[in-house]
Amino acid sequence: MGGVRRWLHDTVGGLPATYWYLWSGLLVNRVGAFAMLFLSLYLTEVRGASKALAGVVVGAYGIGGAAGVLLGGVLADNWGRRATLLWSHLTAAALMVLMAFAGHLAAIAVLAALIGVVHSMPGPAFVAAIVDVVPPEKRSRAFNLQFWAFNLGMAGASFLAGLLAQASYLALFLVDAGATLATALIIAARVPETLVRRSRTPDTRPPSGLRAALTDRTFLAFVGLTFVLAVLTAQTSTIMPLAMRADGLSSAAYGTVVAFGGALIVVGQLFVPRLIDRHRKHVVLAVSTGLLAVGFGALAFADALPAYLAAALIWTVGSMLAAPPNAEINAELSPTALRGRYQAVFYLTFPAAAFLAPALGGVSLQHLGDRHWIVSAGVGLAAVIGHLVAGPRRERRVAALRAAERTAPDAVTGERTLTGAA
């Protein structure tokens, strides 16, 4: 029993109450965020859209998501974390209700783009709020639990979506709206504003807009390495199904591989902090990226379901190990006053990877065949070297940022409020 108590304390203990309300909101939001997973089927089966038109509408959702990430980061720094979270969720719930009753394809396309914006806006604010309230020494644990909640919620969403879609697409959209509203209520009732506004002299005021993040070479190098990881991971939902079909495997086999990876994360993610806490972050990221490279490289030799499952085991462990240090480094490289903007630039890597992985991966698979996976492994191994080379420089940068923020003028000019410059 003592060992179990110690594990529970090491895994979930000592985190502030505000974090747990943010965590709960994220979990509820992810469990309910399933309607857009079935948007293409809804358009073709219910609204009579062609496959091409359905693809355009789903693409509009993706474009809205990229814009929403940047907007959410700016608002999180200027308007506040709580305000951004609250109003993006309320707006998303309202738009989802409108989507449920929209009949014209043009209206659905506009709503899809707007929903893409408000679905992506909370991401930078969620992470910025977590960094605001969780001490540095506990962030690995906090981000590990956040990643676990996200994947647990997505697993629940996939299950519920299948049931609701069979019963009623109207129910699909309305239940999604209800879950989003529930998240807004949790934020409204329990999450205070975590953004503290500080006075700065003209000499110490940071650059405005996104310019600071987009000209920070150390940060952009880290974002680039994260982009490689995201491209590798995105292949599980874009390129791997094509490879499995070419090997004569069914859609059910693909579903088995995806479910296996999800189950591994749900069961194993809670044990990750004890494995990585004693090691330097860039070393953990190098090892985890190496596992991703080996896992996807192994697909060059896979032609049956057991081989795909074995490869999925390797790359899923890599993803699990990478999640906490990746989020920690992102937080550490972000100046306090620009935390939301830095999160926004960081989170752009994922929609960019979701676009690039199928766009280039499909061409590569068509022309290279199984050698595509060897190329993927080579790209991953290059990122391993990148982490090992860039890691010490990142550590020096983090130390300099902490020293600068301890000595910079930071007198609080007022209470934590929801108002501020737009």
Residue 398 covered by a domain: yes
> Of 231, 221, 222, 224, whose CA–CA distance to 315 is shortest?
231
Per-residue confidence (pLDDT) for residue 239, from 0 to 100: 81
**89 contacts 177 by C-beta, under 8 angstroms:** no
Q: What is the pLDDT of residue 207?
A: 53
Residues 185 and 275 in one domain: no
Inside any domain, residue 10: no
Structure confidence at residue 98 (pLDDT):
95
- Res. 389: pLDDT tops 50: yes
Same domain, 98 and 136: yes
Phi, psi of 117 (to 5 degrees): -65, -55
* Arithmetic mean of pLDDT, 215-237: 89
> Are 264 and 400 members of one domain?
yes
Written as six digits, the tokens of 31 are 């469990």
d(CA 140, CA 325): 6
pLDDT of residue 115: 93
- Is a pLDDT exceeding 60 seen at residue 419? no
Residue 303, helix vs strand vs coil: coil
pLDDT of amino acid 411: 37
Q: Give the confidence band of 187 by pLDDT, cuts at 50, 70, 90.
A: very high
Query: What residue numbers bound the domain in which 132 lies?
Result: 17-141+167-193
338 and 189 within one domain: no
Q: 96 is written with which tokens? A: 């989802």
If asked whether residues 24 and 130 sit together in one domain, one would say yes
Residue 385 has pLDDT above 80, yes or no: yes
* Percent of the chain's residues with pLDDT above 90: 29
- What pLDDT score was predicted for residue 161? 66
- Decide if pLDDT at 407 tops 70: no
| Same-domain status, 179 and 218 | no
Query: What's the token pair of residue 22?
Result: 């943010």
Average pLDDT over the chain reads: 82
Residues 100-153 have pLDDT tens digits of: 998 888 899 999 999 989 988 998 899 889 988 988 888 888 888 888 888 787
Residue 414 pLDDT more than 50? no
CB contact at 8 A, 415 and 201 = no
Distance spanning both ends of the chain, measured CA to CA: 52
Mean per-residue pLDDT for 252-278?
82
Residue 8 lies in a domain: no
- The pLDDT, as a whole number, for residue 198 is 62
pLDDT of residue 405: 67
CA-closest candidate to residue 313, choices 353, 265, 382: 265
Shared-domain flag, residues 220 and 359 = yes
Residues 261 and 172 in one domain: no
Q: What is the reported pLDDT for 318?
A: 94
Q: Kindly report the length of the chain.
A: 422
Q: Is residue 155 part of a domain?
A: no
Question: Quick one: average pLDDT of 258-264?
Answer: 83
149/265 Cα distance (integer angstroms): 10
Cα 21 to Cα 67: distance, rounded to the nearest angstrom: 27
- Assess if residue 396 is contained within a domain: yes
- The C-alpha atoms of residue 228 and residue 123 are separated, in whole angstroms, by 20
In whole angstroms, give the CA distance from residue 28 to residue 298: 36
Max mean pLDDT among 41-55, 219-233, 236-250 falls in: 219-233
Q: pLDDT for 13-67, tens place per residue?
A: 578 999 999 999 888 877 766 777 777 778 887 888 887 788 778 778 878 888 8
339 and 277 within one domain? yes
- The answer to whether position 341 is within a domain reads yes
Q: pLDDT band at 369, cuts 50/70/90?
A: confident
> Interior CA angle at 246 toward 244 and 250, to 5°?
50
Report DSSP letters for 69-138, one per residue: HHHHHHHHHHT-HHHHHHHHHHHHHHHHHHHHH--SHHHHHHHHHHHHHHHHTHHHHHHHHHHHHS-GGG
Give me the pLDDT at residue 417, please.
35
pLDDT at 365 over 70: yes
Cα–Cα–Cα angle for 73, 351, 114, rounded to 5 degrees: 65
**What pLDDT, on a 0 to 100 scale, did the predictor assign at position 6?**
55
Dihedrals phi, psi of 207, to nearest 5 degrees:
-60, 145
The answer on 276 and 315 residing in a single domain is yes
Average pLDDT over residues 340-345: 88
Residue 26 belongs to a domain: yes
171 confidence band (pLDDT: 50, 70, 90): confident
The alpha carbons of the chain give a radius of gyration, in whole angstroms, of 22
- For residue 202, pLDDT over 60 is answered with no
Global pTM value? 0.76
> Dihedral (C-alpha) 332, 330, 71, 64: value to the nearest 10 degrees?
-170
Instruction: Tell me the pLDDT band of 296, cut-offs 50, 70 and 90.
Output: very high
CATH number of the domain within which 299 lies: 1.20.1250.20
Residue tagged 């890691």 (tokens) = 391
Percent of the chain with pLDDT over 70: 87
Number of structural domains, the chain? 2
Check whether residue 253 and residue 398 sit in a common domain. yes
The Cα–Cα gap between 272 and 275 comes to: 5
Residue 91 and residue 74: Cα distance in Å, rounded? 17
pLDDT greater at residue 410 or residue 357: 357
Do 305 and 177 have their domain in common? no
Confidence of residue 410 (pLDDT cuts 50, 70, 90): very low
Q: Smallest Cα–Cα separation from 28: which of 99, 97, 85?
A: 85
Asked if residue 214 belongs to a domain, the reply is yes
Residue with tokens 């409108």: 98
